[in-house]
Amino acid sequence: MQTVLIVDDSLTAIRQLETIVKGSGDFVCVGAARNGVEAIRLYHEKHPDVVCMDLNMPEMDGLATLRYLRSLACDVRVVVISSVGCRDGWYLQAVELGAARVLSKPADAGMVLKALRNV
């Protein structure tokens, strides 16, 4: 099974993604972080196969986190799931920084699993 790290400042979003991941049969959730600082710590500890990450978070946003993770491991696979839409070009920046997929919230289980399976 592939491992997934979930990064979102919303506990509700984390729980929803954990349910999707755990119910897939293909993935296991190895941790959840509420911001980019926690995400980087957990990435070092858990070495997940895929990171599911929001963009708008306190302390360290998703773009800064993505940039840092890519500097650590250029092969890191990140699926962005965020409600920021096209605000300030965040989605485009995420793709330019190396996000494998970018989904808009609310993303249904099928979309999330398809993105995870195809990264």
The reported pLDDT for the residue numbered 97 is 85
- Would you give the distance in Å from CA 102 to the centre of its chain? 9
Which residue segments constitute the domains of the chain, with CATH numbers given? 2-117 (3.40.50.2300)
Residues whose CB is less than 8 angstroms from the CB of residue 97 and which lie 6 or more positions away in sequence, other chains included: 63, 66, 67, 70
Tokens of 49: 């196969």
The reported pLDDT for the residue numbered 75 is 83
The reported pLDDT for the residue numbered 111 is 92
From residue 110, how far is each of 23, 25, 29, 103, 115 by CA, in Å?
A: 11, 13, 17, 12, 9
What pLDDT, in 10s, does the model give residues 42-95? 999 999 999 999 998 999 999 999 999 989 877 889 999 988 755 567 778 888
Q: Is the pLDDT of residue 35 over 70?
A: yes
- Mean pLDDT of the residues in the chain: 91
